[in-house]
Amino acid sequence: MFGIGMPELLVILVVALVVLGPKRLPEVARTLGKAMAEFRRQASDVMDEFQSQTLLEDDPPRRPAKPKTPPETPPPAPSDRADAKPDTK
């Protein structure tokens, strides 16, 4: 983890037991464990957010597509309509 081997870890635990005492050592260890877990969770959240933002920045910006409208058809000429009266003059 931090380059700490078994002998160094035993020395740290013995010093902590002497300084804190047998009653308070489990409480401190539990608090330290919870703090480390929260730190890891927060670091993971920050890394996830960072990665999602870098993925968003890598994508080119997209322009919204213009809605397609059908071409306008001119109204039929009066002679083309079926109900139109013939021009009689």
Q: How many Å apart are CA 22 and CA 26, to the nearest integer? A: 8
Residue 68 maps to a domain? no
Q: In sequence order, which residues have a C-beta less than 8 Å from that of residue 25 and are 6 or more positions away? A: 16, 17
Residue 83 maps to a domain? no
Residue 71 maps to a domain? no
Whole domain around residue 25: which residue ranges? 6-58
If one compares 12 and 75, the residue with the highest pLDDT of the two is: 12
Q: How many Å apart are CA 88 and CA 55, to the nearest integer? A: 74
Residue 22 maps to a domain? yes
Looking at the structure of the chain, the number of domains it has is 1
Residue-wise pLDDT tens digits, 15-68? 999 998 989 989 998 999 999 999 999 999 999 999 988 887 776 666 666 667
Alpha carbon distance, N-terminus to C-terminus of the chain: 106
Residue 25 maps to a domain? yes
pTM flag (> 0.85): no
Residue 37 maps to a domain? yes
**DSSP state, residue 88:** -
Residue 74 maps to a domain? no
Residue 14 maps to a domain? yes
